[in-house]
């Protein structure tokens, strides 16, 4: 790993991410970002077009990471629906814990995206959740899972997982993979037919 400093644009995004997490997107101004970076507010515009551009970068970068992790976990895997769900859950948690600040912004501040970005973001979210619904549908069809409302079950599963950024500590006793595994165990215990 090189000891190079991140580019100024990356520094702006990292600083904005932390401020969005702490204060919220709406309560963070360009002046706040400039002050945290130790530069003039006008100088920010040589690195970014707007505050929303940073939010778009965070939200769509995180969305791509979730898709990539999900694809890596499931593409070519031919196990049971329960095993697929376990892999999808662990992959999801690993993305969340990789950058908890960006995850916090992704989960709570996406509502500030303007059109057409808002619609694109919602479509991506629906596609991502759709993979979880497919797995649940498969488990229902083959008798692995108890009868359930797939949409409700997916929202419940993701709601449980998406709080991980609030309490995960990289220096804690469990790795992201172990946390994902434990969460998967709890969720699957409620889904599997006894």
Task: Say whether both 8 and 26 belong to one domain.
Answer: yes
Does position 4 have pLDDT exceeding 80, yes or no? no
Does position 94 have pLDDT exceeding 90, yes or no? yes
Does position 108 have pLDDT exceeding 70, yes or no? yes
The CATH number for 130's domain is 1.10.357.10
Q: Model pTM greater than 0.85?
A: yes
Span 38-53, pLDDT tens digits: 988 888 888 888 999 9
* Contacts for 65-71: CB closer than 8 Å, 24+ residues apart: 65/95, 65/98, 66/92, 66/95, 66/128, 67/124, 67/127, 67/128, 69/94, 69/95, 70/128, 70/131
Of 24, 55, 13, 76, the closest CA to residue 84 belongs to: 76
Task: Say whether both 175 and 144 belong to one domain.
Answer: yes
Task: Say whether both 43 and 71 belong to one domain.
Answer: no
The CATH number for 36's domain is 1.10.10.60
Task: Say whether both 142 and 172 belong to one domain.
Answer: yes
Distance CA 173, CA 10 (A): 30
- The pLDDT value given to residue 3: 55
Contact 116, 62 (CB under 8 A): no
Task: Say whether both 19 and 89 belong to one domain.
Answer: no
Tell me the residue range of the domain where 4 lies.
1-48
* Count of structural domains, the chain: 2
Task: Say whether both 172 and 102 belong to one domain.
Answer: yes
Task: Say whether both 43 and 77 belong to one domain.
Answer: no
1 pLDDT band, cuts 50/70/90, is very low
Contact 74, 88 (CB under 8 A): yes
Task: Say whether both 139 and 115 belong to one domain.
Answer: yes
Span 111-158, pLDDT tens digits: 999 999 999 999 999 999 999 999 999 999 999 999 989 999 999 999
Give mean pLDDT, residues 29-33: 92
């Amino acid at each position: 790993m090189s000891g190079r400093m991140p580019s100024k644009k990356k520094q702006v995004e990292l600083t904005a991410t932390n401020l969005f997490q702490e204060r919220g997107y709406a309560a963070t101004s360009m002046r706040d970002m400039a002050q945290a970076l130790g530069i003039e507010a006008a100088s920010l515009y040589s690195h970014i077009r707007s505050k929303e551009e940073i939010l778009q970068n965070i939200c769509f970068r995180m969305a791509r990471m979730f898709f990539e992790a999900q694809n890596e976990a499931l593409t070519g895997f031919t196990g049971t629906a329960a095993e697929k769900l376990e892999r999808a859950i662990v992959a999801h948690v690993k993305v969340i814990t990789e950058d908890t600040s960006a995850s916090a912004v992704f989960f709570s501040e996406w509502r500030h995206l303007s059109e057409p970005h808002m619609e694109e973001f919602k479509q991506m979210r629906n596609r991502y959740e759709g993979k979880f619904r497919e797995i649940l549908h498969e488990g229902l069809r083959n008798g692995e899972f108890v009868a359930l409302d797939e949409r409700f079950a997916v929202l419940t599963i993701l709601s449980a997982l998406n709080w991980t950024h609030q309490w995960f500590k990289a220096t804690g006793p469990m790795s992201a993979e172990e946390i994902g595994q434990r969460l998967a165990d709890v969720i699957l215990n409620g889904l599997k037919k006894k």
